[in-house]
Amino acid sequence: MPHPLLYEINTRCWLRDLSQAKGQPITLDEVPDSEFLRWQQLGFTHVWLMGVWAGGPQARAKALASEGFSEALPDWTENDVGPSPYAVADYHVSAALGGDDALATFRQKLRAVGLKLILDFVPNHLGLDHPWVRERAELFVTAPQFEPETFAVDSVAGKKYLAYGKDPNWPAWTDTVQIDYRRSEARSAMMALLKQVADQCDGVRCDMAMLLLNDVFAKTWSRFPTREQAPSTEFWGDAIAAVRRVYPDFLFLAEVYWGLERRLQELGFDYTYDKGLYDALVARESGSVQRHLFSIGRDGLKAGAHFLENHDEPRIASVLSPAEQRAAALVILGLPGMRLLHEGQLQGMRRRLPVQLIRRAQEPRDPEIEKIYDQLLGCLLVSAVGPGAFDILAPGPAWDGNPTAQHFVLVQWSLDAAKFDLVVVNLAPHRSQCYAPVKLPAASVPEWTVSDLLGPDRFIRKDDDLRKNGLYLDVAEHGGQILHFEPVKDLNRG
């Protein structure tokens, strides 16, 4: 699938919900077949099980000390809190989820319906409970003495002061310990872990992947120098190549910010977070959306992972109105690249859940939001969007002095030389007009029938007018269409 549709699941909470509904504990190998069929019917190609790896008591204690759970779960108790999924104590599946064998069964069930499995790889750091903290302290960033954002550990090599995992722009993650990517031994050890993860899935979502870039890492940890010579190659280039020697089709998705997406793509990542598009959509800056799409170009769009929410972002239903969300959702679903949807997004959930919680508040489903996603995903399945060839179209002004063309996103998709689909979105809070410069086959036909797959509109346009002027569009506020074009002569063959 050249443009995958990824579904992110909060594994611990999801299994707890299934267990509650079933009245007995459900592990990964016991997930009902109906779940897999539902994902297939919605058109998903990949499932990301977020948070399957084992955590530990020290990381859980750090989570309990934060006490930041009341907004997401007002009646939370200590039993509702686990270690962060991003403070990994062991790259084996948590026993509470069924262990490695249960994951293997889950993966087989995915494959049976044509879906693939994505798991987390957390490269920047490990959890405080990982055995390497004591057994291989030399793999971590080490301070000569106690410093802010470090902690003492009695390792097998003696007392060491190790650094907590860190993003240079934020306080340290005190439930983690920082891998030192300036050290060749550390790189080799993390590459071995990555290969271990790759044995269990079809792709990885790599947490904060840009932190490992040589220049970023050197700047972040310059105050704790190492005697080892600076690496001459990038970790990601070496690691991705090593995995693909064994699994040529293995998928790499990077969480990345700071405008470093292109660098990670060049190192081998298939997809990188498209945070620029997300920011423009949630800020309701329709002109910025259009500029962003053209600035990153075809290659950037094909390598982008487009989303409206994930476990790090607010629930989109708490940010955009249903009409705004429908338009924004059609944008991300109508673009090339990876399209990422988050568990609960399709039901209109509003509470963002801290990743340490293993139980979530029960929220009523929003029928309006459910209808939006059912319609959008259903229409994608009968369109060329995703499997076809694409073009991002630059909307032209409807007339001199009309600036509203800047609010449109236009994507043309084709699977057949004589038929194509046009995704049309007006992101503005008012009616907007433009001309869409649709790309027609070289061989002209007298007329085209144009039908909206998302609505009742159906009309005929002359081929020569489309070639000369494009398709005139007059779309309501936050309006979205998938216009299907077929030559009239084909429809009249009966």
Contacts of 54 (CB under 8 A, 6+ apart): 88, 89, 90, 91, 92, 93, 94, 95
How far, in Å, are 44, 73, 358, 409 from residue 354 at the CA level?
Answer: 25, 9, 9, 33
Q: Are residues 301 and 446 in the same domain?
A: no
User: Of 328, 363, 381, which marks where a domain is finished?
Assistant: 381
Q: Are residues 254 and 335 in the same domain?
A: yes
Q: Are residues 201 and 350 in the same domain?
A: yes
Q: Are residues 396 and 286 in the same domain?
A: no
DSSP one-letter code for 183: S
Confidence of residue 493 (pLDDT cuts 50, 70, 90): very low
**Torsion-angle region of residue 54: left (phi > 0), alpha (psi -120 to 50) or beta?**
beta
For the whole model, what pTM was predicted? Answer: 0.96
Q: Are residues 10 and 74 in the same domain?
A: yes
DSSP letters, 1-38, are: --S-EEEEEEHHHHHHHHHHHHTS---GGG--HHHHHH
Q: Are residues 453 and 424 in the same domain?
A: yes
The verdict on residue 350 lying in a domain is yes
Query: In degrees rounded to 5, what are phi and psi of residue 149?
Result: 65, 30
User: Of 381, 409, 442, which marks where a domain is finished?
Assistant: 381
pLDDT recorded at residue 417: 82
| Token pair 């859940």: residue | 353
Going 162 to 164 to 167 to 168, the CA torsion angle's sign is negative
Contacts of 230 (CB under 8 A, 6+ apart): 182, 214, 218
Q: Domain range for residue 347?
A: 5-134+180-381
Beta bridge partners of 228: none
Would you say residue 42 has pLDDT above 60? yes
Q: Are residues 258 and 393 in the same domain?
A: no
The verdict on residue 152 lying in a domain is no
Would you say residue 491 has pLDDT above 70? no
- Per the prediction, the chain carries an average pLDDT of 96
Amino acid symbol at 29: D
Rg (alpha carbons) of the chain, rounded to whole number: 25
Q: Are residues 100 and 196 in the same domain?
A: yes
Q: How many structural domains are present in the chain?
A: 2
Would you say residue 65 has pLDDT above 60? yes
Would you say residue 285 has pLDDT above 50? yes
Would you say residue 39 has pLDDT above 70? yes
pLDDT recorded at residue 446: 93
Confidence of residue 418 (pLDDT cuts 50, 70, 90): confident
pLDDT recorded at residue 444: 84
Which of 62-76, 332-346, 390-404 has the weakest average pLDDT?
62-76
DSSP one-letter code for 481: E
Contact 64, 78 (CB under 8 A): yes
Q: Are residues 291 and 402 in the same domain?
A: no
Q: Which CATH number do you get for residue 114?
A: 3.20.20.80
Q: What percent of the chain has pLDDT over 70?
A: 99
User: Of 381, 414, 437, which marks where a domain is finished?
Assistant: 381
Residue 329, classed as helix, strand or coil, is: helix
Contact 233, 215 (CB under 8 A): no
Would you say residue 309 has pLDDT above 50? yes
pLDDT recorded at residue 68: 83
The verdict on residue 155 lying in a domain is no
Contact 405, 398 (CB under 8 A): yes
Going 366 to 367 to 373 to 374, the CA torsion angle's sign is positive
User: SS in 3 state form for 249-306?
Assistant: CCEEEECCCCCCHHHHHHCCCCEEECHHHHHHHHCCCHHHHHHHHHHHHHHHHHCEEE
pLDDT recorded at residue 1: 53
pLDDT recorded at residue 494: 36
Confidence of residue 227 (pLDDT cuts 50, 70, 90): confident
User: SS in 3 state form for 430-471?
Assistant: CCEEEEECCCCCCCCCCEEEEEECCCCCEEEEEHHHHHHHCE
The verdict on residue 324 lying in a domain is yes
